Structure 1
Amino acid sequence: MKAFEVRAPHDFSIVDIDAPQAAAGEVSVGVAFAGICGSDMHIIHGDNAFVRFPRITGHEFAGVVEAVGEGVENVSVGDRVCIDPVINCGECYPCRIGRPNVCSAIQVIGVHRNGGFANQVSVPAANAHRLPENIALDQAALVEPYTIAANVLERMQPHDGDALLILGAGVIGLTILQVARAQGLTDITVCDVIDDRLDVARSLGARHTVNGQREDLEAVMAERTSGEGVPLIADAACVPALFPQLARIASPAGRIGLLGFNTTPSDLVQLEVIKKELSIVGSRLNNRKFPEVIEMLASGRLDATALVSHRLPFAEMGEAIHMIDHHPERVCKVLIELEA
């Protein structure tokens, strides 16, 4: 079978490998569609500290169960499924308190073990989620990015009527926008520096947009909130230098959700945090959000196809990576088709 293998930073190609076998408790999935994520690009560039090479990447994917290992009961051969990439130990402190997405021994499919950029992949059966008939496999491949959005929103604990500011109108920012609207939030502002992305944000329901290159975000938000500040801020831009500004923009009792893995230090003015009693929360991967997002898709409250800017066959993975590297302003989500 064919698989996209990253052997070392900047060293990748489609290779022939043996098809994996489903061990006890696992299923083998014939992959139909897989999305290219920013974290896949970090692996390709050597910027992911968790990956071990060589690695078949890909953690956003969906397909059809082709084989089941011993003891598997939740799915059967022929089932259409999408895959939660988070594998946890079930025993450490985070797992014991219901936070398996930060398990001390976490494994992520496509990072710590081989992922979905292959004709077939074996995964724990517990990570395979059956799909309703009205969810197409191309949409199902994009469930995972929406679980990132659902996770950070839960971490920020929205209240009815809260205003939300989203920094960044890339894939994650747009998924946060869509999930927030599906959950009933309506007063949403999106900030980016690319007008085309802001156009997409407006088409997906953003009430306000701000181009951060031309407008003073802090002044704009102060005016819109009559100086009170914003209760919810989701940082999908992941620029550490912006953090002091976010703390100033936040309202008293506000919540700031951080998503990036950037190792650059941020300036934190403790007074700003304490006087407002801000909650600053990190959000990593997803904490069992697949059923919630699948239901949102099935009910029509989410439209995953709105994210897709490019669809390419598996043979053009190299071209897709080149396009993302050299023309990121043209790209939202690249979806790779692995099977006809």
Structure 2
Amino acid sequence: MKSVVIEQPGQLNIAQRNVPQPDPGEVRVKVKYASICGSDVHIWHGHNPFARYPRVIGHEFFGIIDAVGAGVDPARLDTRVVVDPVVSCGHCYPCSIGRPNVCSELQVIGVHRDGGFSEFALVPDANAWALPDSIEDRVASLVEPFTIAANICAFLQPQPQDIALVFGAGPMGLTAIQVLKGVYGVERVIVADRIDERLQMARDNGADLALNNTETPLATQLNGVQPTLIIDAACHPDIFAEAAALASPAGRIGLLGFSGAPCTITQQSLTSKELSVFTSRLNSHRFPHVIRWMAEGKIAPHKLITHYIPLNEIERAMTLFEKDPRACCKVILEI
């Protein structure tokens, strides 16, 4: 089988590997479509602190179960599935309170263990979620990125009367916009970015107001409006302090991503307004929610997709995703 392997940072290859056989409790997925995420690019360049090499990357993928290991119901064969990349131990403190995404022994498919940029992938049976026929194959791999927005929104508990501000109109920001508007019915969603083409994507995905903050500070453009809910989907270390300054008293701030750079913020800026700050990593049992939203038409994954590229052109696909944010959003690999 063909697999995209990062042998070591900077070294991306398409390798020929033996088709794997599932262990007890596993299923084998014949992958049909997989989408590129920023973390895949980070692993390629050696900037993901959690990755182990060599690694078959890819944690956003869809396919069909074509083999099952011992203990797995044979009726699972031929099931169309998307894969939750979070593999947890089930017995540590985070797992015991329903937070497997920060399990003490966390493994992420495509990061700690081989992923879905391959013709076949092995995953725990419990991580393979069946899809209804109403969700098309060509968009199904985008269930996973929408679970990131679902996870932070579960903490933030958006309300229709909220004034929401999203920093960043990349793929994560766009999924957040769609979930805020389509699922929670937030009446006013503002988006800030420094690329005009991305701001247009934000409008196309439901943003009510899109602001370019390259030259004019957001505080000036907001003209006294104080967001009650802020999502940082850009992950620049300067944003946290700016978000605290812009937020309404009693507002909520949600942080996505894991920049290793330090940021400077005072306790006073948080406590003087009694702000609530939430952080989020991956997803915690959000796949059923997103599958339902997608099936009900509350979110529109096709609006994020700009390119379909064959697996054997992986380097072109990864480079396009990384280098051309004006024309590129989600790139789907055809396996």
Deviation at 1:74, TM superposition (A): 8.9
Deviation at 1:324, TM superposition (A): 2.7
Could you say which residue in structure 1 is the equivalent of 2:4? 4
Deviation at 1:75, TM superposition (A): 5.8
Maintained 8 Å contact 2:307/2:328: yes
TM-score (norm 1): 0.96
Task: Give the whole-Å Cα distance in 2 for the aligned partners of 1:74 and 1:220.
Answer: 58
Maintained 8 Å contact 1:252/1:277: yes
Deviation at 1:222, TM superposition (A): 4.2
* Residue pairs, 1:14-163, within 5 angstroms: 14-73=14-73, 76-163=76-163
Task: Give the whole-Å Cα distance in 2 for the aligned partners of 1:325 and 1:95.
Answer: 34
Note the alpha carbon deviations across 1:172-218, whole angstroms, 9 max, x for none. Answer: 00000001112211210011111111111112211111001143211
* Residue pairs, 1:130-279, within 5 angstroms: 130-183=130-183, 184-223=185-224, 225=225, 229-279=226-276
Query: Per the alignment, in what secondary structure is the counterpart of residue 230 of structure 1?
Result: coil
Maintained 8 Å contact 1:75/1:125: no
Note the alpha carbon deviations across 1:94-114, whole angstroms, 9 max, x for none. Answer: 111111111111000000000
Could you say which residue in structure 1 is the equivalent of 2:308? 311
Deviation at 1:115, TM superposition (A): 0.2
Deviation at 1:330, TM superposition (A): 2.3
Matched, 1:289 2:276: no
* CA root-mean-square deviation: 1.2
Note the alpha carbon deviations across 1:78-133, whole angstroms, 9 max, x for none. Answer: 11000000011111111111111111110000000000000000100000000000
Structure 2 gaps of 5+ residues are: none
Maintained 8 Å contact 1:296/1:302: yes
Note the alpha carbon deviations across 1:235-277, whole angstroms, 9 max, x for none. Answer: 0011101221110101111111111211111111111101111
Q: Which moved more, 1:153-162 or 1:195-204?
A: 153-162
What percent identity do the matched residue pairs reach? 46
TM-score (norm 2): 0.97
Maintained 8 Å contact 1:75/1:130: no
Deviation at 1:335, TM superposition (A): 0.5
Maintained 8 Å contact 1:177/1:188: yes
Maintained 8 Å contact 1:74/1:125: no
Are residues 76 and 196 of structure 1, via their aligned partners in 2, closer, same or farther at CA, if it must alter by over 3 Å?
same
Deviation at 1:19, TM superposition (A): 0.9
Maintained 8 Å contact 2:158/2:180: no
